[in-house]
């Protein structure tokens, strides 16, 4: 791949890392067709937690994550798999106070990468005949939406075409307010009630807009249909069967259990910048949408198994590689499937990705449809939710495309 292609890919993927997507010259039908074209080859992927470098030269990635901690990031963890081999590495410190290095397979908050797990569990329920993707949400969650609310289907929850409004917080863009309320506890029902005070964004099924609301309601659906908590179903359906040792939903627990990296948030106070430890933070405002904790090894193992059809049966798995035939709210093509994001490369290939951020943490997963190229990273950014991403994210992405 030439330098120009690498640069273009990095620019586009960087935009996705910020939470938005720029898709140039590729409509929804093209992306959908590209995703389906490689569906049969995923079965060749072998689930293996080991990481053997083979002929893969990790020098570009080692250089990309060197030099931490900096003012914008305190640590980085990367796992990359290509046809040449696999490499995993880390840099920086797990704790600024002690200077402790990043331990192997350190846990971190994965933010919106949680949505991939949620979508997978709903699709499992569909495969079991317990959920109809075209069925109305009120069939499974009676009383959650007002009686006169337009019909929202389960599929629309997963692919962001539901039109549900977002909840308003009094000072969500104020970091001091966020810090003061970091231990607040919310129930999913409270979040939905707060959101429904606002008008719906559009009629369900007419447009696409990325939001936490669909996955939050999907999490409630999982609990109602199974009779178990989201955390228990995540463990029973995905973590234990795949041997994911570091993946769990924390529920009301604001801490990260086991070995983990600390996240920090830069705060301007009295004319100077302070780094506030943001590790202990309630994630109850993003249940099933942004609350899960994991590691790079676990995320890679999950991604490999998912794309190979070992988590969701093939008929339902296609939902994760199919884009709805609608436009987004800005008039562009749809680019979100059930749990994933279609990312067209200049070469015509499509990568399927998901990024996530919580205060102190940035994470991402990306893979080709056949699963032979996979990238997972975690960066403890000092401004993960406010003014963008640290330069190291661009360096990681550039290195990944150079190795690809």
Residue 214, pLDDT > 90, answer yes
Report the alpha-carbon distance of residue 122 to residue 175 in Å, rounded: 34
Q: How far is CA 245 from CA 48, 49, 53, 235, 239, in A?
A: 14, 11, 22, 10, 7
CA 136 to chain centre: 25
Provide the token pair at 124.
């499992």
Catalytic residue among 112, 211, 282, 294: 112
Average pLDDT of 4-19? 39
pLDDT 10s digits, 368-403? 999 999 999 999 999 987 666 789 999 999 999 898
At 156, which CATH number?
A: 3.40.710.10
Per-residue model confidence (pLDDT) at position 173: 78
- Is residue 112 annotated as part of the catalytic site, yes or no? yes
| Percent over 90 (pLDDT), the chain | 80
- Give just the sign of the alpha carbon dihedral 184, 187, 191, 197: negative
Per-residue model confidence (pLDDT) at position 160: 98
Per-residue model confidence (pLDDT) at position 389: 77
Q: How far is CA 283 from CA 114, 169, 179, 330, in A?
A: 12, 15, 13, 30
Average pLDDT of 202-212? 97
Strands 207-208, 327-328: pairing is parallel
Determine the structural domain holding residue 51 and report its residue range. 3-403
Domain count, the chain: 1
Q: State pTM to two decimals.
A: 0.89
Number of DSSP helices (H) and strands (E) in the chain, helices first:
14, 13
Burial of 387: CB neighbours in 10 Å, binned 0-12, 13-18, 19+: exposed
């Amino acid at each position: 791949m030439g330098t120009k292609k690498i640069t273009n890919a990095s620019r586009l993927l960087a935009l996705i890392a910020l939470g938005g997507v720029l898709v140039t010259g590729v409509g929804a039908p093209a992306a959908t067709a590209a995703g389906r074209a490689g569906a049969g080859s995923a079965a060749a992927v072998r689930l293996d937690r080991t990481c053997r470098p083979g002929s893969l030269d990790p020098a570009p990635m080692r250089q990309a994550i060197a030099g931490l901690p900096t003012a914008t990031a305190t640590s980085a963890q990367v796992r990359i798999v290509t046809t040449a081999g696999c490499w995993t590495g880390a840099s920086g410190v797990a704790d600024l106070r002690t200077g402790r290095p990043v331990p192997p397979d350190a846990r971190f908050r994965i933010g919106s990468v949680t949505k991939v797990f949620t979508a997978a569990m709903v699709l499992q329920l569909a495969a079991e005949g317990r959920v109809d993707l075209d069925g109305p949400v009120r069939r499974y969650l009676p009383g959650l939406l007002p009686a006169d609310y337009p019909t929202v289907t389960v599929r629309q929850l997963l692919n962001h075409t539901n039109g549900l409004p977002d909840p308003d917080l009094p000072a969500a863009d104020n970091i001091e307010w966020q810090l003061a309320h970091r231990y607040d506890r919310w129930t999913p029902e409270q979040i939905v009630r707060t959101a429904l005070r606002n008008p719906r964004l559009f009629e369900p099924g007419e447009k696409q807009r990325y939001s936490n609301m669909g996955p939050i309601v999907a999490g409630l659906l999982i609990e109602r249909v199974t009779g178990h908590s989201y955390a228990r179903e995540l463990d029973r359906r995905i973590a234990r069967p795949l041997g994911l040792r570091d993946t769990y939903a924390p529920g009301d627990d604001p801490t990260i259990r086991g070995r983990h990296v600390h996240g920090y948030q830069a705060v301007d106070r009295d004319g100077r910048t302070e780094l506030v430890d943001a590790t202990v933070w309630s994630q109850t405002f993003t249940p099933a949408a942004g609350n899960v904790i994991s590691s790079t090894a676990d995320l890679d193992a999950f991604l490999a198994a998912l794309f190979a059809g070992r988590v969701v049966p093939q008929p339902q798995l296609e939902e994760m590689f199919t884009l709805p035939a609608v436009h987004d709210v800005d008039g562009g093509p749809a680019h979100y499937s059930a749990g994933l994001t279609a990312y067209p490369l200049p070469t015509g290939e499509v990568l399927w990705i998901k990024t996530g951020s919580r205060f102190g943490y940035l994470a991402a997963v990306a893979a080709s449809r056949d699963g032979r190229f996979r990238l997972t990273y975690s960066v403890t950014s000092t401004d993960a939710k406010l003014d963008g991403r640290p330069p190291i994210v661009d360096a990681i992405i550039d290195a990944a495309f150079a190795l690809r």
